[in-house]
Amino acid sequence: MTPAPTTRQQRPPAEHLYADELARLKKSDRDPKPPGWQLSMKAVRRFIIGDKDLRAKIVCAPSLIERAMVTLASNRALLLVGEPGTAKSLLSELLAASICGSSLLTIQGSAATTEDQIKYGWNYALLLAEGPSPRALVPSALYRAMQGGHIVRFEEITRCPAEVQDGLLSILSERLLMVPELPGDNAVFAAPGFNLIATANTRDRGVNEMSAALKRRFSFETVFPIADYDQELALVQSEVARLLANDGLKIQPAAEVLEVLVTTFRELRQGVDREGAASERLSTVVSTAEAVSVGYSVALRGHYLRGDTGQPRTLWKPGGRCRQRQPRRHEKDTPLHRKQSRQTPG
Ligand SMILES: Nc1ncnc2c1ncn2[C@@H]1O[C@H](COP(=O)(O)OP(=O)(O)OP(=O)(O)O)[C@@H](O)[C@H]1O
Ligand SMILES: [Mg+2]
C-alpha cells in the first residue's frame, strides 16, 4: 500500500481515505485470494458495496462488482464504459485500491498520450552519458504495475490515438513488455496480480475507436446512471456533506436544494418534460457527479456569502422567479413531493 500522507490532501486517494477499513478487512480476511491480490473477492466486494458494518462507496448492482473482479482475476483486461459522471473512475479507483493497495498507477489518456507514457521513456541526461541502461530507463505506470503485480488504471482510453492504444496489444495477450534498447535481460514479465482497468465514456465514442484486436482483449462492462431517485438523492446528500466536512465546514447541505437539483437533473437526463412527454435530449451532461458539484457550490455560496446552507432560489437565474414545480407521475412519492403536498393546502 502507498504510504499514508504526512500533509493534508485536497482529495486523498481511496487507499488513504479508507486505510483503516482496508487494514481491518485484510486482518480478518480468511477467504481465498486470487494470485497477487491483497484481499479476497468477498472482502473487495464488502469494501465497495458495503454491508451492515461498512459504508457503501458506490451505488451499483453487486453483480457489476462481481463480474469486474472475475475479469481482473482472469487473463482479460476490464473496460468500464458509460455516460460521463457515472462513477467509472471511482469504481476503477476502489477496485485498484482494494485489490493491490494502490490506485495511483494511472495513465491519463488524451490526444497527447504517447507510447512512451504507456510503456517507458528515458532520462536523456543518463541516456547520453551511459547509453541505454536500466538506470536511464523511466518506467511508466504500466511497467511498474507489471513488475509489482499491481492493477494499472487507464483513464479515458478512447481519447488516445488508436495506434497508441494498440501498444497494449502484446502486453495484454502475452503479459510481456520488451525493451529492445537494453542489452541482455530486456523483457519485463507481468507478475501475478497484474491487470488493467480502462475507462471510456460513451460521449467520446468515435473520437478514437478501438481496434477490434484490442477490444478482444477486454471484457466490457457498462456503468449506468443511478436508476432509483431515493438512492441518487441519498448519494448526492452524503457526497456534498463529505465535501463540506473535508473543507472543515460543520454544515449540512439544504435538503430542499438537493431534492430540486436531483429531480431536475433526472428529468433533463431522461428527456422527460413537466407533463411526462419526451423533450429534446441535452447535448451537455447532467450526471450525478454534476448534481454533487452543483449542490456543493450552492452550499459554499450559502455559507460564505449568504449566511445559510443554500436555497433552491440559487439554482435559478439571478432575478428569475423560483416557481414551484409540479411533480411528474414517476415522482409522486418523492420527499420533495410529500413536502410540497403538506405545504400546499388542497
Ligand atoms: N453510482 C454512483 N455511486 C457513487 N458515486 C457516484 C455514482 N455516480 C456518480 N457518483 C459521483 O460522481 C463522482 C464522479 O464520478 P467519476 O469521476 O468516477 O465519473 P466518471 O464516470 O469517471 O466520469 P467521466 O466519464 O466524466 O470521467 C463520484 O465521485 C461520486 O461523487
Ligand atoms: Mg472518469
Q: Where are the domains of the chain?
A: 14-222, 229-343
Per-residue pLDDT averaged across 43-59, rounded? 95
CA distance 112 to 190: 26
- Angle among Cα 116, 118, 124 to the nearest 5 degrees reads 25
Of 250, 257, 325, 261, the closest CA to residue 289 belongs to: 261
CA of residue 29 to ligand 2 center, whole Å: 30
How does pLDDT run across 101-150, given as a tens digit for each residue? 999 999 999 999 999 999 999 999 999 999 999 999 999 999 999 999 99
CATH code: domain 14-222 is 3.40.50.300
Q: What is the mean pLDDT of residues 265-285?
A: 73
How many of the other CB atoms lie within 10 Å of CB of 239? Answer: 19
Q: Is 285 in the pocket of ligand 1 (CB under 6 A)?
A: no
Mutate to test the pocket of ligand 1, among 49, 60, 86, 221 (most ligand atoms within 8 A of CB): 86
- Relative orientation angle of helices 255-270 and 288-301, to the nearest 10 degrees: 150
Which residue, by CA, sits nearest to atom 5 of ligand 1? 58
Pocket test for ligand 1, best of 65, 89, 159, 237 (most atoms within 8 A of CB): 89
The pLDDT, as a whole number, for residue 269 is: 82
Nearest CA residue ID for atom 18, ligand 1: 87
Predicted confidence at residue 267, as pLDDT, reads 85
Nearest CA residue ID for atom 11, ligand 1: 289
Reference 301, options 253, 237, 338; nearest CA is 253
Q: How many C-beta atoms lie closer than 10 Å to residue 169's C-beta?
A: 14
129: Cβ–Cβ under 8 A, 6 or more apart, which residues?
none
Looking at every residue in the chain, the average pLDDT score rounds to: 87
Q: Judge whether residue 268 has pLDDT over 60.
A: yes
Rounded mean pLDDT of 84-113? Answer: 96
The finding on whether 17 has its CB within 6 A of some atom of ligand 1 is no
Helix pair angle (88-100, 19-28), 10° resolution? 50
Could you read off the pLDDT of 16-37 as tens digits, one per residue?
Answer: 999 999 999 999 999 999 999 9
- Is residue 15's pLDDT more than 90? yes
Q: Which ligand is nearest to the CA of 93?
A: 1
CB-ligand 1 contact for 56 (6 Å cutoff):
no
Q: Is 60 in the pocket of ligand 1 (CB under 6 A)?
A: yes
Cα angle, residue 314 at apex, residues 313 and 315 outer, rounded to 5°:
90
Q: Over 60: is that where the pLDDT of 336 sits?
A: no
19: helix, coil or strand? helix
d(CA 187, CA 119): 12
- Tell me the mean pLDDT in the region 201-211: 76
Tell me how far apart the alpha carbons of residues 226 and 111 are, in angstroms, rounded to a whole number: 30
Residue 261 cell numbers, joined:
437539483
State the alpha helices, DSSP H only, in the chain. Answer: 14-17, 19-28, 41-49, 62-73, 88-100, 115-118, 124-130, 141-148, 162-165, 169-174, 212-215, 229-246, 255-270, 288-301, 335-343
Supply the pLDDT for residue 273.
62
Residue with cell string 491480490: 37
Where residue 323 falls among pLDDT bands split at 50, 70, 90?
very low
